[in-house]
Amino acid sequence: MFKNKESKNFIPFNKPYFSGDEIKYIKDGISIGNISGNGKYTKLCQTFIENKYSFKKCLLTNSCTDALEMAAILLDIKPGDEVIMPSYTFVSTANPFILRGAIIVFCDSKKDHPSIDEDLIEGLITNNTKAIVSVHYAGFSCDMDKIMSISLKYDLYVVEDAAQAIDNYYVDSHNVLKPVGGIGHLSAFSFHESKNIIGGEGGMLVVNDERFIKRAEIIWEKGTDRAAFWRGEVDKYLWRDLGSSFLPSELVAAFLYSQLQNLDLIQNKRKIIWNNYYESLKVIGDKVKLPNVPTYSLNNAHMFFLICKDSDQCFKLNKFLKNKNIYSAFHYHSLHTSPYYLEKHDGRILINCDKYANSLIRLPIYYELNQNDQQKIIDSVICFFNENH
């Protein structure tokens, strides 16, 4: 698959950005003698993000999956509870709720955007519905006013799967900017190396509903009140609840902190690359669909994708680029038709989800993508659509 990877002119699909200070912070963590969880750098990361986005409470986790597992435990998801989420998403949106016994009710994507079709959600609600998971695909915000008003009407919880959405904003109907991840009752972010801001692996739970803050910290610390113990609030820590070891190592937190220090730098560069793709590829806009930035969302430049006319064209473009040493990538298989869930799904056809599963292709976007390489990608894509198909 990666036969040309050794080539000097190889353009990878993703290349993690390193700020240069990661090792300095990791060394500092080691010199303090603390490399397990909830140390200096965990606190620095959490405080940085809480301050920057006015989030009430942030807890670093080993992964976005971990953060969603914490959400499922916090919401007391029980066997038989139904959770509504898009089918066009990563398996980790669904697994944390299934682990608690939930039935996943998959919702289709919008016709003009891969994220959940908010207008279909209400029709999927039953007496067993407990929560809606809004996945901010490619970092673009879902229409959160719509989703929150449904949640209010039916007394449901909203969990934002903001894995790809760090540093993005929802634009509400009054044109007020709200940080993505700060709107639902709970939110989950990813710092996996494929994301804008990275810790290797790593994720974060954001608690927006204050009722969940105290319990979140206990679940995070293996079901104990150890965090309160370290703060001197209790004499000894005890087993008080369900929980797991959701805390990442300080090695991960120190790495992440270095990235957060460079957040604006990283984001600005990615936006330049994203906008360059968009402006340059407009010329083939009648032949392939470019990303549709929703009116209610800003753009955090996490991903640049094209929607081909079908699976065949998508595969051909991928191969065409690969022959030029450019690595593009497809994205999700529809979860509702995956081997694990096909028999459990209620049989509804999710036509838009399947369309994106078949025809969406992602182009390289990373901090170090230089102008020459990007121009090569742009020229190749234009060439493919103009000359070949």
Residue 254 exposure: Cα atoms within 13 Å on the Cβ side: 22
Query: Among residues 152, 238, 283, 383, which is the contact residue for a copy of itself, using CB under 8 A?
Result: 238
Q: CB count, 10 Å around CB of 194?
A: 16
Which amino acid would we find at residue 44?
L
Dump the DSSP string for 54-82.
T-SEEEEES-HHHHHHHHHHHTT--TT-E
Q: Which stretch binds a copy of itself (CB under 8 A): 19-27, 137-145, 169-177, 305-313?
A: 19-27
Kindly state the smallest distance separating residue 110's Cβ from a copy of itself, in Å: 22
Please say which residue, 69 or 167, places its beta carbon nearer to a copy of itself.
Answer: 69
Residue 311 interacts with a copy of itself (CB under 8 A): yes or no: no
Mask for 151-190, x = binds a copy of itself (CB under 8 A): ----------------------------------------
Residue 345 interacts with a copy of itself (CB under 8 A): yes or no: no
Kindly state the smallest distance separating residue 223's Cβ from a copy of itself, in Å: 5
Core vs surface per residue 226-265: b (16+ CB within 10 A) or e: bbbeeeeeeeebeebeebbebbbbbbbbbbbbbbbebbee
Residue 13 interacts with a copy of itself (CB under 8 A): yes or no: no
Q: Which stretch binds a copy of itself (CB under 8 A): 141-149, 263-271, 276-284, 332-340?
A: 332-340
Query: Among residues 119, 239, 279, 312, which is the contact residue for a copy of itself, using CB under 8 A?
Result: 239
Please say which residue, 33 or 347, places its beta carbon nearer to a copy of itself.
Answer: 33
Tell me the number of residues near a copy of itself by CB under 8 A. Answer: 65
Residue 194 interacts with a copy of itself (CB under 8 A): yes or no: yes
Tokens linked to 63: 């992964």
Which helix (H) or strand (E) is 107 found in, with range? strand 103-107
The C-alpha atoms of residue 236 and residue 228 are separated, in whole angstroms, by 9
What's the alpha-carbon Rg for the chain, to the nearest Å? 21
Residue 15 interacts with a copy of itself (CB under 8 A): yes or no: yes
Query: Among residues 145, 338, 348, 382, which is the contact residue for a copy of itself, using CB under 8 A?
Result: 338
Which helix (H) or strand (E) is 50 found in, with range? helix 40-53
CB 251 within 8 A of CB 230: no
Backbone dihedral region for residue 155 (phi beyond 0: left; psi -120 to 50: alpha; all else: beta): left
Residue 232 interacts with a copy of itself (CB under 8 A): yes or no: yes
Q: Is the dihedral of CA 200, 50, 94, 245 positive or negative?
A: positive
Q: Which stretch binds a copy of itself (CB under 8 A): 110-118, 219-227, 293-301, 343-351?
A: 219-227
DSSP state of 265: H
Three-class DSSP category at 16 = coil
DSSP state of 246: -
Say how far residue 238 (Cα) sits from the centre of its chain: 34
Please say which residue, 278 or 330, places its beta carbon nearer to a copy of itself.
Answer: 330
Q: Which stretch binds a copy of itself (CB under 8 A): 133-141, 266-274, 287-295, 337-345?
A: 337-345
Residue 89 interacts with a copy of itself (CB under 8 A): yes or no: no
Binding residues vs a copy of itself (CB under 8 A): 1, 15-16, 18, 22-23, 26-27, 30, 33-37, 62-66, 69, 73, 79, 90-92, 94-96, 98-99, 101, 192-194, 198-202, 222-224, 232, 236, 238-245, 247-252, 255, 333, 335, 338-341
